[in-house]
Amino acid sequence: MKFLLIIFSLLLFQVPSIAQVEDSMQLRRIYHEVLERGECYENLRVLCKEVGNRLSGSDNAEKAVLWGETLMKRYGFDRVYLQEIMVPKWVRGAREKLLYKDSLKTIEPAILALGGSVGTNGILNGEVIEVRNFKDLERLGEKEIQGKIVFYNRPMNPTLISTFHAYGGCVDQRHAGASEAAKYGAVATITRSMTLRNDRIPHTGSMGYKEGVKKIPAVAISTIGAYDLSEALKRNPNLSISLDLSCKSEEDVKSYNVIGEIKGKVYPEKIMVVGGHLDSWDVGEGAHDDGAGVVQSIEVLRLFKKLSIQPKHTIRCILFMNEENGNRGGKSYARLVKQKGEEHILALESDRGGFSPRGFSVDGTSAQLETVQHFEALFRPYNLHLFNKGYGGVDIGPLKNGKICLIGLVPDSQRYFDFHHASSDIWENVNERELELGAAATASMIYLIDKYGFEQGLKRATFKK
Amino acid sequence: MKFLLIIFSLLLFQVPSIAQVEDSMQLRRIYHEVLERGECYENLRVLCKEVGNRLSGSDNAEKAVLWGETLMKRYGFDRVYLQEIMVPKWVRGAREKLLYKDSLKTIEPAILALGGSVGTNGILNGEVIEVRNFKDLERLGEKEIQGKIVFYNRPMNPTLISTFHAYGGCVDQRHAGASEAAKYGAVATITRSMTLRNDRIPHTGSMGYKEGVKKIPAVAISTIGAYDLSEALKRNPNLSISLDLSCKSEEDVKSYNVIGEIKGKVYPEKIMVVGGHLDSWDVGEGAHDDGAGVVQSIEVLRLFKKLSIQPKHTIRCILFMNEENGNRGGKSYARLVKQKGEEHILALESDRGGFSPRGFSVDGTSAQLETVQHFEALFRPYNLHLFNKGYGGVDIGPLKNGKICLIGLVPDSQRYFDFHHASSDIWENVNERELELGAAATASMIYLIDKYGFEQGLKRATFKK
């Protein structure tokens, strides 16, 4: 009898329920609307071309806040408002130059100061010492490093299929490299850019200083620039460079998370967040990082309105400020939620580029993961196959409380670090359809979780895989 | 007892066999080698930049033959040789111009003669009539069409997830449009480019004339060009254009399929083909179409040699000539196989662009499909999920005989028609990793089918899902 039951339930799983047919049709409508009349790509063009890059604290960041607020008001969301926060302000400055002599030639590779770096306070000269990691520093010690410029040249591992894993294996050089080197008396650092491409484009990104360690300037050099410098060092181990940086940190300034919402019809007090971050680095246009997530999140709410999908829960779109160098937006929002005692059941973040979506990664209970995985079959016609336990995102991370389900949209990662934090992260390098498919996938997931909730979703009687 | 058996076999499927662990490791080695020391991207650069585009019968096509032969000889494949074939020769010619007046302005949109089109034999003038499809022609009839230039302006359907399906729903306008319009007395045709992008880049492609119908010139116009022309026609329904084309077809010329192979150790007389096509359209560099498939196919054999994988069957890499406008290479090869009575068990084609691979489509028996699907789990770490019944490819199509299994590599299709048959199909628009991942997936599939064959692969005792 037990076996019969197993066989019977296996058979049941094959038969689509009425609910599933309804859901298939709803997803089809969402995808149709986005692919035929989607507005996210044009919105991204305006954000990239009319606002441009928008580092926290910059004038452009304030323009972006106004852009986001105006756009969501124009779409007629039920409520659009700003959450005031204080953000760090770091300014690149006009002087940014690295020079060295290789044989008789003067080489001036393209560089970018890392975000948060101090300036050089005049021209800084020093011999260069190349290392692969912090263990190399330990091995070389103060004797070899004192007074020198440490050159971190460990490449991203190309054999990892997810480029995010390759990034994770390298980014310590950028983020903590300055203080680690300063401990041994280094006067500055040069870090190989975090990309898998061989090109001449430097990639910036955040770095931080350890308390009690001298703050030394830190710059990024392109992958070809790193290769050239490494070769020059082989020819002349005493090679000296000169570095001139006028970047600096200023006082914190006021800024905002931009929030728009559609009120839930059944549980208006229960919130489902969808978001990306509005700030970007100060080069390129912040198109993939994270203009894409911003316009996709707004598109989700636009789709709900356009298709007259009345959500049970309140769907809240958040354009977070300051993900790149402080995550003040994410942290402040989570604090506010706690203060207000608001109940959040879901936060879904898109911050891995506007590429062809492959699925979702779920940071939640196993019941929540199971619910999301139950929806997998509905996404198969759209070629989404990854529904795994994994990371949600930086902005939504502070919301984690053991109850809320955090989800990250997972696009194809192969090209992400071609553009990440670089001058090449521009609108032209985003494909309209790939961006739209990400918006459609996100809207579909929000629709399903809103409809079934995490408890309901698990009841196979009402939703069959 | 039967139930127990079912449960038992279900359990068995969960346990990886020793063979499966071995295979996982072999795939890992293949991917490592390609991602770390792959040569296909550099080979593609040389093909694109040093040979360039290579329409059948052109000097560049002959250069490409030499390039392919030389490269495979340099890699030391067991046998490298040419198969002589006759190919059509069509030449674009120096004059290629379309002009019309919109209000007071003279508009000269970018156009490309369709491959195979006759020239205009001097300047051709005519009023333009816009249609969506062949039914429109029928409805309008000779009365409305006689002496006019038919403008096909049906866009690709953006709501289809596979862009190839959208292409399939449109390409009749390009391929058969001239003869269909000529039946009603049209003097030329203008066809909207087969792309989902809105841009000013025209896309060419093959067209053919029906026997017994007058041959009229046919050109492609970009999507924005089509929009502009359509708008101008609304303002002036009697709008007239002038067209000047000096393209022409010449006598067939000699060319070659380029073939390299590694001899099988167990069944040298049984052949497994991997290939792409060496010819391209005469604009851009034929990077995605199909330089990608060419260098990936060569890379498969290079990988076998480099990793000392001794295949049981003979693995034959074929760089087919003339896929774009005649498929003489594919047809001639199939004829030769038949003449020689060679046994082919598999032909795998890569001709859908060098994008992130998603899986394989299988045109074979259900047993062959099942075998391929048995390998799916091994590809999951590489994010390949599509293992479906489907199309193999144009070049390998003529090999179909009810026994051979035809397989097409299926990359992500979203960006393919951004570049297809256009000046934008250049090396810079191919991502190195995406290209390499396609080569690794192809090599892995060939490795598995070579190892298990289609009969063996089905025996669950030796290979478990």
Look up the pTM and report it: 0.95
Whether B388 is in a domain gets the answer: yes
Mean pLDDT of A382-396: 98
Shortest distance, CA B3 to any CA of chain A (angstroms): 7
pLDDT band at B255 (very low <50, low <70, confident <90, very high): very high
Whole-number pLDDT of residue A453: 94
Within this chain, do residues A34 and A121 fall inside the same structural domain, yes or no?
no
Helices (H), A75-161: 134-145
Binding-face residues of B in 199-228 toward A, CB within 8 A: none
B188-244 pLDDT per residue, tens = 999 999 999 999 999 999 999 999 999 999 999 999 999 999 999 999 999 999 999
For B383, the closest of A36, A158, A161 (CB atoms) is A161
CB B295 within 8 A of CB B287: no
Choosing from B246, B269, B302, the residue where a domain stops is B246
Whether A297 is in a domain gets the answer: yes
Q: Is A165 within 8 Å of chain B by CB?
A: no
What is the domain range of residue B109? Answer: 96-246
**Cβ separation B415–A434 shorter than 8 A:** yes
Shortest distance, CA B70 to any CA of chain A (angstroms): 27
**Cβ separation A197–B159 shorter than 8 A:** no
Q: Which residue of chain B is at minimal alpha-carbon distance from A3?
A: B3
Q: Is A158 within 8 Å of chain B by CB?
A: yes
Residue A106: which residues within 8 A CB-CB, separation 6 or more?
A: A99, A100
B328-344 pLDDT per residue, tens = 999 999 999 999 999 99
User: Where on the phi/psi map is residue A101: left (φ > 0), alpha (ψ -120 to 50), or beta?
Assistant: beta
Residue among A28, A159, A384 with most chain B CBs within 10 A, to mutate: A159
Within this chain, do residues A129 and A192 fall inside the same structural domain, yes or no?
yes
Considering B130, B285, B323, B349, which one is annotated as catalytic?
Answer: B323
Q: Is B348 helix (H, G, I), strand (E, B) or coil?
A: strand
Q: Which two tokens stand for residue A337?
A: 């939620």
Residues of B with CB below 8 A from A7's CB?
3, 6
Q: Which residue of chain B is at minimal alpha-carbon distance from A434?
A: B414
Inter-chain CB pairs, A–B, below 8 Å: 71
Whole-number pLDDT of residue B19: 81
Identify the helix (H) or strand (E) that includes residue B23.
helix B18-37
Q: Rounded to an integer, what distance in angstroms lies between the CA atom of residue B188 and that of residue B201?
A: 20
Choosing from B213, B246, B279, the residue where a domain stops is B246
Q: Which two tokens stand for residue B111?
A: 């156009």
Residues of A with CB below 8 A from B412's CB?
356, 383, 412
Choosing from A190, A221, A246, the residue where a domain stops is A246
Within this chain, do residues B186 and B218 fall inside the same structural domain, yes or no?
yes
For A415, the closest of B6, B36, B431 (CB atoms) is B431
C-alpha to C-alpha distances, B386 to B94, B357, B369, B374, B454, nearest whole angstrom: 45, 9, 12, 12, 19
Our count of domains for chain A comes to 2
Q: Cα B306 vs. chain centroid, distance in angstroms?
A: 27
Q: Residue B83 burial by CB count (10 A; 0-12/13-18/19+): exposed, middle or buried?
A: middle
Within this chain, do residues A379 and A451 fall inside the same structural domain, yes or no?
yes
The CATH number of whichever domain residue B415 belongs to comes to 3.40.630.10
B260-317 pLDDT per residue, tens = 999 999 999 999 999 999 999 999 999 999 999 999 999 999 999 999 999 999 999 9
Whether A3 is in a domain gets the answer: no
Does B323 participate in catalysis according to the annotation? Answer: yes
Residue B405: which residues within 8 A CB-CB, separation 6 or more?
A: B345, B346, B347, B362, B363, B364, B365, B368, B372, B449, B454
Q: Which two tokens stand for residue A286?
A: 């912040």
A370-374: long-range contacts (C-beta < 8 A, 24 or more apart)? Answer: A370/A458, A371/A449, A371/A452, A371/A454, A371/A457, A371/A458, A372/A405, A372/A407, A372/A445, A372/A449, A374/A457, A374/A458, A374/A463, A374/A465
Whole-number pLDDT of residue A187: 98
Within this chain, do residues B192 and B336 fall inside the same structural domain, yes or no?
no
Say whether pLDDT at B461 is over 50: no
**Cβ separation B418–A431 shorter than 8 A:** yes
Q: Which residue of chain B is at minimal alpha-carbon distance from A431?
A: B415
Q: Is B386 within 8 Å of chain A by CB?
A: yes
Say whether pLDDT at B14 is over 90: no
Shortest distance, CA B36 to any CA of chain A (angstroms): 6
One-character DSSP codes across A326-377: T-HHHHHHHHHHHHHT-EEEEEEE--S-SSPEEEEEEES-HHHHHHHHHTHH
CA atoms within 13 A on the CB side of B212: 0
In this structure, what are the phi and psi dihedrals at residue B192, rounded to the nearest 5 degrees? Answer: -60, 135
A28-68 pLDDT per residue, tens = 999 999 999 999 999 999 999 999 999 999 999 999 999 99
The CATH number of whichever domain residue A178 belongs to comes to 3.50.30.30
CB A425 within 8 A of CB A289: yes
